[in-house]
Each structure stands twice: as structure tokens, then as C-alpha cells.
Structure 1
Amino acid sequence: MRNYNSQGENHNEKYIFRPNIRVSYNINDNAYIRYNGYISGYSPSLSDLNNVEQDIDSLQIRRGNPNLQTVWYYTHTLTGGYNKGIFGVEFFMRYSYDHKPIMEQVTFEDGKFVRTNINQKGFHRLNTEATFKLKPFGEYLTLSVTPGLNRYISYGEEFTHTYSSWRVRGSAVFNYKKWSLTGEMYTRWNNFWGETMDRGERIHTVSVGYSDESRLLGLEKVKWSLTGGMFNPFSKSYSQGSRNYSALTPNKSLVYTDNLKQIFVINFTINFNFGRQYKAGNKRLNNDDTDAGIMSGSKK
């Protein structure tokens, strides 16, 4: 992978080797284990590379950094599962490391706090989940619960932060002939990057669906489904926020309402199968140019 950008006399060019390895092994008819590892990278945004300053408020300045360098990272993912009878368990573990990631740095100059992005030392994250499934009435009812843990270690030039976040999600799926009834619940899934923790959302959903096969436009039978659902039908409160642990400019933000309106969604899908069939490969590179290069004046 080649990343290149330039502004005036400054330019940044980097080549990154992107190997990918996948290994899968079926232990027996009921158990399996899989591994996937790869190396990749990402470029700094055009807005962060701009050699300009922008006032945030009377005490803070946002400053670009044309010396930012492309970041490379590697990821390891391990999954496995065991299913037999009415019981099943699946586990997921992912570790990733960003080398010299682009993160915010705050300094104090001439009576003002200057916020800019630099290549910090490193960032580690570990995500682990285990899903336990129970089918007490065969395919008619599936109950599952998934506890998970996110662990973050953020190394900067002038800071070191560690943060852990637990989450649990659960679901119940009832199937009868062509009908299905689903209920899901998620606790918060907080995220950490640099010196900032972003609080996730608490969500629960209920949906009802119907699926069938029908002849359409003289074609063979096509599969279709219609599902209606609602987000947070049993709650009127909502909150979200963030916390910055900077030694110079720590801050908190909170968004809260006790008048949450429920959202109803309808999803209709139809699957046409005709002509030559083939298996599409996954798109691994994103070549879209959607970066406007405009610096944000807000604090993170």
C-alpha cells in the first residue's frame, strides 16, 4: 500500500506491506477454531495536515501539523465455537496495535492552550467476547447472552492511560413456521482513544418478522422477508457523553434526555437468484476520496 500527500514543500510518502493470513481448523463435528491476522495502515487527514491555526474559544487554539506521518497497525483475531444439542458457546478475541498513532496533544503557549495532533508512541486494544446459547425447544426458541471486555492502553509522549469497559448483550428469538419474534438488549460499550473516553449507548429492541417464497414476474420462487421493529420501546431516558483525561485541559460532556421518542423501523428484503452465480470477494481497500480537508474547531 502506498500513501502519499503533499502541501507546499511538505510531503509524506510511505509504503506498507499488507500481508494477511487465515487459518481454520474443525476440531470435530461440533467444535471449530479460526485465526486471522493482518497488517495495514492509514494516512493523516487533510484537515490535520493543514498548516493553519483556528480559535476554539478565548483560551484554546486548534493547530494543524504538516509533519504527521502515516500509521501502520497489525491485528490478530481468534474465534471458536462449540455446539451440541441445546447448548452452544462461541468466543471472540481481537488484539490490535497502532504504531505511532495520530492522537491529540495539548500544550500551553503564550497564555493559551494549543490542541494539535501528533504521532504518539503507541496504542493497544483488546476486545474479548463469549456468547452462550441455549435452545430449550429446538429451533423454536434461542436464548443467548454475551459478556464482553474492552481493554485499552494508550501511550503518548507525555501521558499513559489504561481503561477497561465491560458490556453485556442478550437476545431471545422465537420462531414459529414463517414468523419470528426477536428481543435484544445492549448495555453501554465505551470506547477509548488517545486521552478521551466516549460513552456508548444503552439500547433495547423488539421486532416481528415474516418470511416466505413466492413467484414473481415469471421467475422462479424468490425469497422475501418483512420485518417491523422498535428501538427502546420501554424507555424514555437516553444519555451519552465523553471524558477527556488531559493533564492540562480535562473536560466532561453529557447529553441527556428523559423524553426519548421511540423509533419504529420497517425492513423489506427480496432475493433474486438467476443467471450465473459467483462468490464475490471482500473489498479490502477503500479508494474513496471523501476528505474535505476542513479543520474542526471543536475540542475533542
Structure 2
Amino acid sequence: MKQVIAFIIALLCALCALAQTEAPDSISTHELQEIVIQAPKVIRKADMDVYHPSKSAVENSKNGMQLLRNIMIPTLTVNDALGSISAAGQSVQVRINGRLATIEQVKALLPETIKRVEWIDNPGLRYNGANYVLNVIVANPTLGGSLMLQAKPALNQKWGYYQGDAKLNIGRAQWSVGGYFKLTDEIKAHREYEETFTYPNGTSLTRKETPLGGEIDNSQGAAWITYNYIKPDTTIFYVSLQANRNFSDKWQFNGLLNLSNGDDDIDLMDSSGRIGTTPSFSAYLEQHFAHKQTLVVDFSASMYAGHSYSDYVEKYPGSTHLINDIHTYIKDRNQAYGLEANYIKQWRASRFTAGVSYTANRNRSTYENLDGAVFHQRQDKAYFFAEYFHRINNVTLTGGIGAQYTSFLFKETNQGSHSWNLRPQAIATYSPHRNHQLRLSFTSWQSAPSLAETNIAPQQLDGFQWRIGNPNLKTSSSYMLSLRYSYNLPRISGSFGVRGFTSPNAITPYLYWDKDRLITSYENSKGLQNISFWFAPQIEAIPSWLVISGTIQYRAERMKGNTYKLYNHCWSGDVSAMVTHWGFTLGFQYVRAQRDLWGEKISWGEDISVIDLSYNWKNWEFSGGMILPFGKYDQGSRSLSKWNTNEMHMRLDMRMPYISISYNLQWGRQKRGAHKKINAEASVDTSTAGGR
């Protein structure tokens, strides 16, 4: 891997040198009669980077996701084949015209209607703790409609993605109806797993699992209908109704356990999954008043009805006698409601924003394996904030303060907690030139304990491992200080910087022995600290033909629990290349996932590669590609606990060739979508069963 990273660095440096010897052509020119207007590809603003899609990027895209991929924003990883967006190994909050959006809603956007993309790598208080924010601005004319269809099946697996969306514009209103289905069924998988248990008396037992096969299911879908009403500069109203269905979310691994104490080998089957439906409703109102004042109100609600389960079976080969036969079955009937209101006042060089939000979660879990025992949990969060932004020549300053109140309670035991937490923020930006920017920022946010972390119902994981939640957990606070330098040079742009993070009372899992049972529970630890250095360039290696983008990041971190102190350091990154000409687009992407230390475990996501070739013809796009053309799929973890050390690698048969057909039909002029500035949070909780 070090050789691959070294090669990427050498390649990017060579291309940088090449780019600087060529004539500048990163400026797009638009002619209007006798006036020539020039605008940079990326505009560095005090609180965001603004990207305007090029003509070729629009022409070679058939949906919003493909356009985001073709823009190739440095540090941003857009995987259209797998339907994911991330940045430097962290999640990205996606918005459309300011309102929170799903990947499927991004895919339903017409590329021609996307006017600009706002990349916010240091979100303010009103984004409520997001790592990054990607805001797609859609501004369309007022009449017409559109129909968008896409099918992307794999050729050798039961895997595929299918979506349709139709929009109809009537005067100031727009109706939209659509749906998607993602198929992942019986994908072959296996697990490489070895663990050592150390007992309090110093003795130990090692179990090595020889994989005997397995499979992964993850089929899901959704349907939605939305309504927009826009009276320019006066009123915006938006309402949506959506239903999500998790048809089958299951993984199963079979293996042969070899024990270090000399006992006979053991056959095992380890399986868990979840099935459920989540209907949701959202309503939004934005009202503009005189003197550049705006009041925005958002309401959302969601419900979840479903179940999660886990099955763990051990037996001797060739025998029908079961050594362990463990089954967990949890029915959830959970609800979530959110309400948020913001007041915004703007002046020529400044902006003031104040807001309040309230979120309520009401959870009801029935444990069928515990004779139908019922547990009720209620959680309430209230958040208040005020933020002021001011520009003075080349310097802009942003300061704000927020306060969050969190309370949760288990009805059956009357156990729970409540707390107040402050959330300060400050950002200073210096832009001596439109092509250079230096930003220093300090942000903070809170993380409330989840249903799984606080639920006191005991769950058995295998022959002697159990999981029990902790109802006495407190809301944790996180703080981040970052320094970033961004640049635009002829045919090269990007950023590099350093980021420091601390969470002094992070909620993390920990292990302890209770007689002959090894318990996994949760605690407010003594803190996680890390520091990251990153470099993210984008290079137009061959004008109008070849663009290369990449990110390389080094991260060092320390985790302290009440009984341990652990360290971790790792390299991670990604590289993308795109060749575009004659209507063809050839894309390549490789991602090495970030290795994260959390509690007593290091975990990593997908190491993945994708190659894709597409051709655009009129309203059609035809493409084919392969997921994981080289390398080996790896997703896993490594436990560093003194009571249980283990390493797990999940391997999937992901070397999948696929084809894709997209069709876009447009008529008349397209209605502008609602520009939603805020979102009331109403994320419904779900239980988790199993989890060896």
C-alpha cells in the first residue's frame, strides 16, 4: 500500500509541474454582445467553495450524482456505482437547495438544472454538527416537466439499482413523484476471524475461525411524492411524503472453530439482520419580509415498524446436538418528530442567524426472546443558537454560540439522564486574492447516546459474550480546530491543511468480565484525540480531456478509557481519473478507507476500486464498468482489549461487471425547486441485534 501511495504522490507532483508549464486555461469565457465575462471554475468564499459545472460536465451526465462525480471536487469521493458520497473517510451531509436530501434525491436531479454546487468543509452551527456539507443549488424556469429513468444491473450477481422520477410544473407549483429499488441478494461472502480471550485469572483461550462460506443481502427501496410552491422573493412552501422499505438486510457467516485448549472443532453459523418500513413526512415554509429579513420553519416526522434479529449456533461436525443455540428477536415501533425555526437578517457585508429546534424520539422495543418483555425509551433534544458573520475587506469573521439540552428516560426502570452542553464556534478567513484563501476555524458539537447504547435489555452474542446498554450515559461533546489553505492555479486547484480533534467524554464500548460472562457495555470515556494532515489536489492534466483528483491523509490518534490507553496512526486516501472526449467518459477510482480508533477497536470501511466507461447520445446514456477490477474487498475491525483481542476481515465477491442505461426526457421549461434553508431533525431509532 505504501508503494501505491508513493506512486500517487509522484504522479500528482509530476502533473503539477506539467500543469504549471502550460498556458492558463482554467478560466471559462462567456460572450454577451461586446462584453466578455470571465469566471473561475471554483470561487472561494468565506464560508464555502462554489463550483459551477462546466458544459462538458453537464453534457456527460444524466443525473445529479453523475454530475457531482464529473465536477471532481478535491477531497470529495463520489461513487456513482455504489451510491455513496464521502470526504476524507467521513460522512457528507447532502442538501438540495438547502434542505437535507438523500442520495436517491440527488440522482433524481437533472444535470441541466444544477446551477452551482456549494462545498462547505467547515459547517456552521445551523448544520448541527455535520462533518461536511454539499449543497446542490437547482434554479430552473417555470414551465414544463421531465422524466428520468435508470437501470444498472450486474451481469454476474443479484445486484442492481433501478430508479424513476417524474416532475410536472404548473404555474408556481411543481409536483414530483418517484421511487428506487436497490437489489443486493445472496452475494457470496466469508469472514476471516481470530480472537483470544484472556480471563481475570490470567489464562487464555484462542478461537480461530476457518471460513466455510456465507452471504450478504441488502435489498431496499423507497417511493416519494413532493410538492413545491414558490412565489419569488416572498414565499416558499415545500411538503413531501416518503416511504422507505428495508426488504432484506442480512449477513450470514459459516465457519469451523478451532480451539487452543484442544477441544474438538466446532461448526458455527452466525447471522443477523433487519427488516422494516419507515414512512416519513416533511413540511417547510420560508417567508421573506422587508429589510432583508427571513423566517423559516421546518417540521418532520418519521415512524419505524420492523424487527431485528440474530442467530448464533454452535455444534460438533456431523452431530445434531447443539452446543449453543442463541436467538435474539426485537420488534421496534419507534417514532421521531422534529421542529426547527430560524430567523435570518442580512446586511451588505454581514449576516445574523438565530434559531431553535426540538427533536423527540419515542421508542418501543419488544424482546420476543425474553418472553415478550417490552422496553420504552423517550429522548428529547432542544437546541438554541445564534451566529454572526461579517466581512471586512479581505477578512471575514464568523462567531456563534449554541446550547443543547438532552434528556432520555427508560419508562420501565425510571433510569435515564439529562444534561446541558454549550457549542461555541469561530471562523476567520483571509483571502488576499480570489485564487488563494487561508481559513482558521474552531467548531464543536454534541452526540447523544443511541437506543442500542442505553438499552438495558441483555443480548447474548455467543456462548459467553453478552451486550448490555448503559442508561447512565451522558451526552458527549466534540471540538475541532482546523487550518486550511486553498488555491487556484492554472489547471490545478485544491487544498491542504491540518485538523485537530478531541472528544473528552466520547461514548465508547468497553469490555469487562462478570463471572464467566464477557460483557460489552458503554461508557463516557476519558477521551479521544487525533490530528490529521491532508493534501487534496485536482489537476487538469490534458485540457478538456484528462482530469485527475486525489486525497492523501495521515492521521494519528489516542484513545483513553477508564481502564486503557491506546494509539493508532494510518494513511488513507483516494485517487480518481476521468477522460472525456467525443461523448465518451472513462472514469477510474480507488479508495483506501480510513482506519478509525474508537473505544478499544480499530475499524475500517470498504477498500474499493471502480472503473466505468459511458457514452451519451441524445437523451440516453449507456455505460458499463466493473466494481473492484483489482485488489480484494476488505471491511473489518481489530479489537485491542486486554480481555478480548481479535481481528476480523469481511470479504465479499464484489468483482462485478455491470451495465447501466439512463434516459432523460424534458419538455417545456423546468420549474425551480424549493430553496430550503433549514431542516428539523427526525431520525427514527432502531434496535440492533447480535454483533459478534
2:690 corresponding residue in structure 1: 297
Alignment of structure 1 residues 1-300 onto 2, 5 Å: 1-7=404-410, 8-176=413-581, 179-209=584-614, 226=621, 228=623, 230-232=625-627, 234-235=629-630, 237-257=632-652, 260-264=655-659, 273-274=670-671, 280-281=676-677, 283=679, 286-288=681-683, 290-292=684-686, 294=687, 296-299=689-692
Shift of 1:291: 1.3
User: Which residue in 2 is equivalent to 1:219?
Assistant: none
Give SS of 1:47's match. helix
Structure 1 contact 50–64 (Cα < 8 Å) conserved: yes
User: Identity of aligned pairs, percent?
Assistant: 20
Give how far 1:48 is off. 2.3
CA contact (8 A) 2:488 2:494 kept: yes
Write the distance in 1 (CA, Å) between the matches of 2:665 and 2:506.
43
Q: Does the CA contact (< 8 Å) of 2:511 and 2:519 recur in 1?
A: yes
Native 8 Å contact 1:48 1:117 kept in 2: yes
Q: Offset of 1:95 from its aligned partner? A: 2.6
Q: Deviations over 1:194-251 (max 9, x none)?
A: 1111233222222345679x9xxxxxxxxx8957453435237323221100001111
Structure-2 change in CA distance of 1:155 and 1:236 (3 Å): closer
SS class of match (1:291): coil
How many angstroms does 1:76 deviate by? 2.8
Amino acid aligned to 1:197: I
CA distance 1:89–1:39, change in 2 (3 Å): closer
RMSD in angstroms over aligned alpha carbons?
Answer: 3.1
Q: CA deviation at 1:85?
A: 1.7
Distance 1:36 1:85 in 2: 27
Q: Distance in 1 between matches of 2:457 and 2:539?
A: 57
Output the CA distance in 1 between the equivalents of 2:594 and 2:537.
19
More helix by share: 2
| Maintained 8 Å contact 1:236/1:259 | no
Post-superposition shift, 1:4?
A: 1.0
Structure 1 residues 81 and 172 mapped into 2: Cα distance closer, same or farther (>3 Å)?
A: same
Question: C-alpha separation between the residues in 2 aligned to 1:269 and 1:81?
Answer: 36
> How far, CA to CA, are the matches of 1:78 and 1:155 in structure 2?
25
Distance 1:162 1:179 in 2: 47
Q: Deviations for 1:233-286, whole angstroms, at most 9, x for unmatched residues?
A: 5237323221100001111212235673335556677997545x8754364x63
Structure 1 residue 179, shift from structure 2 partner: 4.8
Report the CA distance between 1:73 and its aligned residue: 1.2
Q: Which amino acid aligns with 1:281?
A: K
SS in 2 for 1:250: strand
Structure with greater contact order relative to length (CA < 8 Å, sep ≥ 6): 2
Structure with higher Rg: it is: 2
Q: Aligned in 2, Cα 1:133/1:98: closer, same or farther, shift over 3 Å?
A: same
Q: 1-side partners of 2:651 and 2:663: how far apart?
A: 33
Q: Distance in 2 between matches of 1:174 and 1:278?
A: 34
User: Does the residue aligned with 1:90 lie in a helix, a strand or coil?
Assistant: strand
Read off the aligned partner of 1:151 and give its amino acid letter. A
Which one is further off, 98-107 or 130-139? Answer: 130-139
CA distance in 2, matches of 1:69, 1:77: 26
Shift of 1:13: 1.2
Distance 1:131 1:117, change over 3 A: same
Please report the TM-score for the alignment, with normalisation by the length of structure 2.
Answer: 0.37
Number of residue pairs the alignment of both structures matches: 285
> How many angstroms apart in 1 are the aligned matches of 2:662 and 2:558?
39
How many Å apart are 1:171 and its aligned residue?
1.9
SS in 2 for 1:48: helix
The one-letter amino acid of 2:547's match is: T
Q: Is the 8 A contact 1:209 1:228 kept in 2?
A: yes
Q: Select between 82-91 and 239-248 the one with higher mean Cα deviation.
A: 82-91
